[in-house]
Amino acid sequence: MPDEKAPPSAPTNSADDNAKPRSRFRPMQIIRNLILIYVTYCVIVFFAQRWLIFPDWIAPEPSADEKYDATTTVLTRDIDGGKVVAWFVPAAGASAENPKPLVIFLHGNAEIIDTQEDRIAGYRALGCSVLIPEYRGYGRSAGQPSQQALVDDAEYFLDIALKRPDVDPNRLVIHGRSMGGGIAAQLAARHNPRVLILGSTFTSMRTLGSRKALVPSFLIRHPMDTESVLHNLDVPLLIFHGSKDDIIDVSYGRELNAIAKHSRLVELDCSHNDFPGDEDDRYWNEIRGFLEENGVLPRVFPRQP
């Protein structure tokens, strides 16, 4: 009998078999690559956050004028590498016999004191003197900005202003806008003001960074923890926020209002960079009423609806 043929053996090195081991490891390689990309991103954010949080490189150049007006006193603080500058602009009629309330205003992170004419003029129209520090590295100020440095500078200038005979130290208003609100809150924790005003401000830079930039909060070296301050601060607080804010969402203002002990939230029909938009009259009417209610200003004028 002829020998029976052995059945053909199954191929041992087909293209499909070769592909299977490789496909089994491809998802892990993708995950590893994604993790590497994310870690690299976090490292970049960690080392670049000074320029992201304090973008002095996009702030406008200061004007040629040294002062806001002829009545302005230019205050300076010597630091390594130069000086930090602040403007003290007195209210009309301020004197030792008639001391006026003091407002210290902390501006946003891409602004300078020269662009705050509306804030200065608005508060002076209410009868308040205005102190407005320039941040390190911004405008006419030397140095490198940081949370610690900006709060220390603000406190330094505030101590000088509160000793002036034409300033009533018992009627101190601390007002911060955007990132300046984070600085204002830290200053309020050191100098218990008569009132605090925050505009377009976050709960903390760490929370903002983790939500918007998707980085772990512990990587943020300038936390500006407004939330923690408000948990313990027992002063009247007025919060402004644009209902269409596309940079610091209005939800942050609502969170701050829920946290604070004595606060009122006013939502204006505007975004972040056009704040207060077309509601400038309402904005100043709210401020005036708030200051009158809390004894910073006398109740002279009736509030407009």
pTM of the full structure: 0.87
By the 8 A CB rule, do 29 and 206 touch?
A: no
Greater confidence (145 vs 28) lies with: 145
In the CATH scheme, what is the code of domain 56-293?
Answer: 3.40.50.1820
Q: What is the pLDDT of residue 62?
A: 95
Q: Taking Cα atoms as reference points, which of 154, 173, 176, 179 lies closest to residue 248?
A: 179
Q: What is the pLDDT of residue 30?
A: 83
- How long is the chain? 305
Mean pLDDT across the chain: 90
**pLDDT over threshold 80, residue 267:** yes
Q: What is the pLDDT of residue 291?
A: 98
**pLDDT over threshold 60, residue 266:** yes
By the 8 A CB rule, do 236 and 290 touch?
A: yes
**Mean predicted confidence (pLDDT) in 229-255:** 97
Greater confidence (274 vs 212) lies with: 274
**pLDDT over threshold 80, residue 132:** yes
Query: Residue 267 phi/psi, 5° resolution?
Result: -95, 125
The full set of domain ranges for the chain reads 56-293
* Tally of CA atoms within 13 A in the half-sphere of 20 that contains its CB: 6
**Mean predicted confidence (pLDDT) in 193-212:** 92
The burial of 254, by beta-carbon neighbours within 10 Å (0-12 exposed, 13-18 middle, 19 or more buried), is given as middle
Q: What is the pLDDT of residues 2-55, one digit of tens each?
A: 555 555 555 555 555 555 555 555 888 888 888 888 888 778 877 778 888 899
Q: What is the pLDDT of residue 50?
A: 82
**Mean predicted confidence (pLDDT) in 251-271:** 97
By the 8 A CB rule, do 193 and 235 touch?
A: yes
